[in-house]
């Protein structure tokens, strides 16, 4: 399919490049991976052309700003990354958009940077790489906490999507992975971390306070669609601490938008589509951690996607969500 839109597509700047080392393989693969994640020009565009991706929204690699302990440095680095992405968009406005990287160490500064990026730079929303560390390397701060309500008010006022991207849990809070570090990252831990964070948002009353919020997550919903029925069924018996006014599943279906990034699998896709409906599911690749070619080959040939749904999920939903001037 030509004209696809992808929006979990990552870049790095020199200050965040080292964070990708664990995902790149041996030295030869590391060289290629570094080249691709730093590139915001010819190579990326050539692969997009080859795979039928017309437009990509760029975002900073994980954990990015969220792993910067010093708040002042986090603010400065977020601005530098955002200015870098803005320059790439300015060079290729018909092919690239951008998500703001945000210094969530300071909710007010994060809100200000988001407003700058949306109103001055034309960004399409924000991508935040999971929980934030601040001051203490063993800290993990989640965004359902009361100090982030002002930040969420800004997101709602700007009316842009917020993409919650995975990151690896820090060792001090990961005893359940002890002696099995392979579990902590993309194979399993990414989905665990992001799904818990997403469910915390659902259970915090956030969407009652801000009913227009739109949250994006990847990998066909980080396992939540598969477990959503049971979540609601058991919540009838154990709602202690739950602050939502409605069933959790209502919030997830209404406020969450889910991409195919890094999960190119027919049964998982079918489950997500049945739970959320075709209006809330989107194509994405997760480049360069995944390959655009793999994403496109699966998406373009999958027999569980009708041709009508292929166009809607691969393009039209994103045009609507991000108000893109492409159709």
Q: Could you tell me the pLDDT band of residue 252, with boundaries at 50, 70 and 90?
A: very high
Taking only the tens place, the pLDDT of each residue in 109-129 is 999 999 999 999 999 999 999
State residue 13's pLDDT score. 97
Is the CB of residue 77 less than 8 Å from the CB of residue 35?
no
State residue 20's pLDDT score. 82
The two structure tokens encoding residue 184: 């902590």
| Among 295, 309, 303, 297, residue whose Cα is nearest residue 56 | 295
Residue 25 scores a pLDDT above 70: no
Q: Could you tell me the pLDDT band of residue 21, with boundaries at 50, 70 and 90?
A: confident
CA 261 to chain centre: 9
Q: Lowest mean pLDDT: which of 90-99, 169-178, 243-252?
A: 169-178
The two structure tokens encoding residue 29: 């693969």
State residue 235's pLDDT score. 84
Within 118-192, strands assigned E span 125-128, 132-134, 136-141, 162-164
State residue 199's pLDDT score. 97
Q: Could you tell me the pLDDT band of residue 240, with boundaries at 50, 70 and 90?
A: confident
Mean pLDDT calculated for residue range 26-42: 88
Residue 256 scores a pLDDT above 80: yes
DSSP-derived 3-state class of residue 275: helix
| Among 72, 96, 163, 90, residue whose Cα is nearest residue 125 | 163
Return the percentage of the chain with pLDDT > 90, whole number: 88
Within 155-289, strands assigned E span 162-164, 215-217, 256-259, 281-282
Catalytically active residues, by annotation: 286
Mean pLDDT calculated for residue range 19-24: 76
Residue 303 scores a pLDDT above 70: yes
DSSP H helix total and E strand total for the chain: 14, 10
Residue 50 scores a pLDDT above 80: yes
Please tell me whether the overall predicted TM-score, pTM, comes out greater than 0.85 for this model. yes
Q: Could you tell me the pLDDT band of residue 326, with boundaries at 50, 70 and 90?
A: confident
Residue 327 scores a pLDDT above 90: no
Taking only the tens place, the pLDDT of each residue in 144-186 is 999 999 999 999 999 999 999 999 999 888 889 999 989 988 9
| Among 152, 158, 77, residue whose Cα is nearest residue 116 | 158
State residue 116's pLDDT score. 98
Contacts of 255 (CB under 8 A, 6+ apart): 202, 207, 213, 214, 215
Mean pLDDT calculated for residue range 193-219: 97
Q: Could you tell me the pLDDT band of residue 45, with boundaries at 50, 70 and 90?
A: very high
Mean pLDDT calculated for residue range 63-68: 97
Say how far apart CA 298 and CA 286 lie, in whole Å.
14
List of domains in the chain = 4-322 (3.20.20.140)
DSSP-derived 3-state class of residue 239: coil
Taking only the tens place, the pLDDT of each residue in 261-274 is 999 999 999 999 99
Q: Lowest mean pLDDT: which of 16-30, 55-69, 288-302?
A: 16-30
Which residues, in sequence order, are bridge partners of residue 141?
132
Whole-angstrom CA distances from 62 to 19, 68, 163, 211, 239 are: 7, 11, 12, 28, 33
Say how far apart CA 325 and CA 17 lie, in whole Å.
32
Q: Return mean pLDDT, the chain.
A: 95
State residue 114's pLDDT score. 98
């Amino acid at each position: 399919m030509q004209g696809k839109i992808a929006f979990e597509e990552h870049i790095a700047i020199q200050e965040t490049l080292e964070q990708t080392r664990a995902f790149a393989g041996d030295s030869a693969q590391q060289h290629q991976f570094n080249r691709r994640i730093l590139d915001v020009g010819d190579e990326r565009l050539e692969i997009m052309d080859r795979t039928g991706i017309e437009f990509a929204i760029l975002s900073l690699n994980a954990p990015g700003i969220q792993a910067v302990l010093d708040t002042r440095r986090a603010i400065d680095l977020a601005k530098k990354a955002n200015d870098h992405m803005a320059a790439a968009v300015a060079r290729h406005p018909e092919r690239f958009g951008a998500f703001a990287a945000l210094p969530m160490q300071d909710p007010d500064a994060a809100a200000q940077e988001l407003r700058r990026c949306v109103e001055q730079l034309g960004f399409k929303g924000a991508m935040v790489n999971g929980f934030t560390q601040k001051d203490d390397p063993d800290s993990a701060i989640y965004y359902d906490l009361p100090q982030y309500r002002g930040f969420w008010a800004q997101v709602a006022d700007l009316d842009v999507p917020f993409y919650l991207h995975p990151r690896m849990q820090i060792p001090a809070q990961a005893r359940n992975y002890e002696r099995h570090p392979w579990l902590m990252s993309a194979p399993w831990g990414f989905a665990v971390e992001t799904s818990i964070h997403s469910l915390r948002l659902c259970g915090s009353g956030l969407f009652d306070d801000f009913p227009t919020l739109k949250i994006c997550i990847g990998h066909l919903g980080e396992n939540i669609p598969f477990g959503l029925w049971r979540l609601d069924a058991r919540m009838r018996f154990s709602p202690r601490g739950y602050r939502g006014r409605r069933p959790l599943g209502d919030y997830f279906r209404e406020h969450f938008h889910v991409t195919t990034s890094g999960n190119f699998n027919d049964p998982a896709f079918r489950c997500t589509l049945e739970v959320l409906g075709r209006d809330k599911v989107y194509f994405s690749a997760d480049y360069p951690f995944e390959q655009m070619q793999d994403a496109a080959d699966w998406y373009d040939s999958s027999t569980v996607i009708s041709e009508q749904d292929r166009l809607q999920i691969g393009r039209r939903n994103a045009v609507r969500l991000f108000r893109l001037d492409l159709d």
